Each structure stands twice: as C-alpha cells, then as structure tokens.
Amino acid sequence: MVLRSKRPDLVRQEFHGLILAHYAVRGLMHEAAARKADEDPDRLSYVHAVRVIRRKMAPCAAAPPSDAQRLSREGNR
C-alpha cells in the first residue's frame, strides 16, 4: 500500500488512521465471534470482515450528513 501523504507529520497521521481502522475491524470481529456461540475470533477472515463493513457502510458514505442523521433516526425506531 502506498501512503498518499508527502510530509512526515501527515504520513504519521495516515499511519495512525490505518492502525485505528485495523483495530476497529478487529474489535468488530471479536464482537461478532462472541455473539456466535463463543467462536474464536482468530478463525474469522479479516478480508471477509472488511468486505462486510464496506458493503454495510456504502449507503452511509453516499448520504450527505443531513440524510445520514435522518436515516439513523429511522433505523432506531
């Protein structure tokens, strides 16, 4: 993977963002494994988890903030 940032401080920021994203995916995998009859999280596929998250995030990414707020309120009903 090629980092897009050119300055050292921005490279660090981008790297930290990637690490946080990785940690978030692993956290969701752990939560999913715990809900599935104590499945071992290490037996789940990281690539599959990323694909599922991308698929679920697509509608949110395409909506402007005002629509996203409306959609989240409707989803909580």
The share of the chain scoring above pLDDT 90, in percent, equals 29
Task: Identify whether 30 is part of a domain.
Answer: yes
Which is higher by pLDDT, 77 or 49?
49
CA distance 36 to 14: 33
Residue range(s) defining the domain that contains residue 40: 8-75
Task: Identify whether 32 is part of a domain.
Answer: yes
pLDDT recorded at residue 63: 59
Residue 51 pLDDT class (50, 70, 90 cuts): very high
Task: Identify whether 65 is part of a domain.
Answer: yes
| Range with the poorest average pLDDT among 9-13, 15-19, 26-30, 69-73 | 69-73
Task: Identify whether 3 is part of a domain.
Answer: no
Residue 72 pLDDT class (50, 70, 90 cuts): low
CA distances 48 to 34, 38, 70, Å, are 17, 19, 29
- For the stretch 14-39, what's the b/e string if a residue is b when 16 or more beta carbons lie within 10 angstroms of its beta carbon? eeeeeeeeeeeeeebbeeebeeeeee
Task: Identify whether 21 is part of a domain.
Answer: yes
Task: Identify whether 1 is part of a domain.
Answer: no
pLDDT recorded at residue 1: 66
Number of separate domains in the chain = 1
Task: Identify whether 49 is part of a domain.
Answer: yes
pLDDT recorded at residue 42: 85
Q: What is the mean pLDDT of the chain?
A: 81
